[in-house]
Amino acid sequence: MVRHYRHTRFIAAVLVAAAVVSLPVQVGRAAGPAAMLPIRIAFSTWTGYGPLVVGVDTGIFKKYGLNVSYQVVEDPNARFAAFKAGSLDGIATTVDTFTRQAARGARVLQVFGIDRSVGGDGIVSIDSITSIKQLKGKTVAVNVGSTSEFFLAYVLQQNHMSINDVNIQDMPDSGVAGSTFRAGKVDVAVTWEPWLSRASKRPHGHVLISSKSYPNIIVDVFGFRTDFVKAHPAAVSTFIKAYYAAVAKVNAGDSAAMAAIEKYTGENQASVKADLTTVKLMDLAASKAYFGTPAKPGPIYDIARTSAKFWLSIKKIDKMPNINAIIDSSYLQKM
């Protein structure tokens, strides 16, 4: 089974620069009257982002009066370069990525939840390693600066350890970390599907722990540029309504919705359905609970702060972002 998830592979600098000036022709469009507000969004190839594709390709956003177009841009640095330059209005990515980019100057507001990784990410190891504490002093293959590194740091912290207790072997991306483990070149790696599943096929290999044990850590959300939100608050609310209409179609197994996701991911329907067992789509109620309210903040605030402290500690950022300024639960609570 082939899965296409959140890649962090390098894209040539010329492509990144081009993305800042003007993103290439949209992969998906919603044609509509000129009066429709155009909204330009981007994300990588990850089954959890399927409802965004469904919203465009099956005409749901258009039905709600929005002319949404999307780009599939695998490199997060290219996406955020375009976002900062004003070539994008919104982005889907993980909470820890938003936190890191906000500290680097991205003016973003996270406004609704997309999915939770509940087993799609994890740590694989040889069979003789049976506990997190046994990782002390071991070499761990991980893509430095990625969500995988944040997951490793969080798991270590929960076991009264830190990233300094292991020896990091930097990998180009999390898929390479998994394939390197599968090839028997390292004893421990942090990766995501399909490499978690393939770990069991390596002699004496297994999944040490996965995001199933930490369902609030690797969570994808959607964020708009702050100036876009200020200029078009009604459109943000409408976008969220349309998005959850798309989620409902996916959850219902709608044939057109599933076909759109299959085309986007390059998978067959069985593989898409399998992905969605470890990548749980949030419905409106789950999203509201994750964001919470100003009086009773949801888990997103803790994860954002935890990830920001981690990125600061390893010098991926040089200042703490204002967490309250980059999360806005008000749009969800109005639904």
**CB contact at 8 A, 150 and 308:** no
Cα–Cα dist 63/50, whole Å: 18
Domain ranges of the chain: 13-117+217-333, 121-213
Q: What are phi and psi of 114, to 5 degrees?
A: -115, -60
pLDDT per position as a tens digit, 101-135: 999 999 999 999 999 999 989 999 999 999 999 99
Confidence class for position 35, pLDDT limits 50, 70, 90: low
Within this chain, domains 13-117+217-333 and 121-213 share the same CATH topology: yes
- The mean pLDDT of the chain is 88
Q: Which residues contact 280 (CB under 8 A, 6 or more apart)?
A: 115, 116, 118, 215
Does the pLDDT at position 34 exceed 60? no
Least confident window among 74-83, 243-252, 291-300, 308-317: 74-83
pLDDT per position as a tens digit, 144-156: 888 899 999 999 9
**Quick one: average pLDDT of 248-273?**
94
Nearest 5 degrees, angle CA 116-CA 119-CA 123?
120
Does the pLDDT at position 220 exceed 90? yes
**Which pTM does this prediction carry?**
0.84
- Residue among 120, 121, 124 at smallest CA distance from 188: 124
CATH class of 13-117+217-333: alpha beta
For residue 200, what pLDDT is reported? Answer: 75
**Quick one: average pLDDT of 12-25?**
39
pLDDT per position as a tens digit, 156-212: 999 999 999 999 999 988 888 999 999 999 999 999 887 887 887 899 999 999 999
What is the CATH code of the structural domain delimited by 121-213? 3.40.190.10
pLDDT per position as a tens digit, 53-80: 999 999 999 999 999 999 998 878 888 9
Q: What's the number of CA atoms in the CB half-sphere (13 Å) around residue 236?
A: 26
Can you tell me whether residue 183 is helix, strand or coil?
Answer: coil
